[in-house]
A and B are shown apart, each in its own frame.
Chain A
Amino acid sequence: DTGVSQDPRHKITKRGQNVTFRCDPISEHNRLYWYRQTLGQGPEFLTYFQNEAQLEKSRLLSDRFSAERPKGSFSTLEIQRTEQGDSAMYLCASSDWDSNQPQHFGDGTRLSIL
């Protein structure tokens, strides 16, 4: 069990650029979640997958955001035309629905928009 892995740990980009983050869940975990955490706040849910199917999306996930989990393993979160308000920590979590496991979180990707 190597834990949830996220890459990169920190991303700095200029406003208007596109960014993509990757999350590798704990192996055999069939559920994968994305959250966003801004300074001084708790994490807010963005979306989650059961295997490769995206089952729920938050209203926070605007048209500029897209998430995929093409083979039911790793997932990517892409933000197009980044804005200042996108600066946040993006957290990934995974769980095993079959055994009613709680969600295990990765270290997160910190996005800074210049």
Chain B
Amino acid sequence: AQTVTQSQPEMSVQEAETVTLSCTYDTSESDYYLFWYKQPPSRQMILVIRQEAYKQQNATENRFSVNFQKAAKSFSLKISDSQLGDAAMYFCATQGGSEKLVFGKGTKLTVNP
């Protein structure tokens, strides 16, 4: 069974600053994917970034980057130059051995002007 743990229920950051959201996971699969999804209030879940476990290089998408530590089963998300539009619930998820995504409980990010 796969599990995902997000230990920070809520985080806040000042506009233009950098924030890191934590995620740890557990899986017995050797080949798997890791994801960060963003869910703004009353809006749809949007993919932020995806990491393939066999790739050592950390994925980046513009202001979003990950720190993937495979041995530690850690997958944190760094948001640089935070913007008001980054405010949302952020979910870490894993997919491996099955097509289903397994999500953590989420971290609510508040961006202060």
Contact = CB atoms under 8 A, between A and B. Distances in A.
Interface of A: 3-4, 31, 33, 35, 40-45, 48, 55-56, 58, 91, 93, 102-108
26 contacts: A33-B99, A33-B101, A40-B106, A41-B105, A42-B93, A42-B106, A43-B45, A43-B101, A43-B103, A44-B103, A45-B100, A45-B102, A55-B99, A56-B98, A56-B99, A56-B100, A58-B100, A91-B45, A93-B45, A102-B33, A103-B101, A104-B47, A105-B37, A106-B44, A107-B44, A108-B44
| Nearest 6 Cβ contacts at the A-B interface | A42-B103, A45-B100, A105-B45, A107-B44, A42-B91, A43-B103
Nearest to A48: B99
Contacts, number: 50
Nearest to A47: B100
Nearest to A106: B44
B106 A107 contact: no
Most buried by B among A31, A102, A106, A107: A102
Contacts of A103: 47, 101
A40 B99 contact: no
B93 to A, nearest CB: 7
B55 interface: no
A4 B43 CA distance: 13
A58 B99 CA distance: 12
A70 B69 CA distance: 42
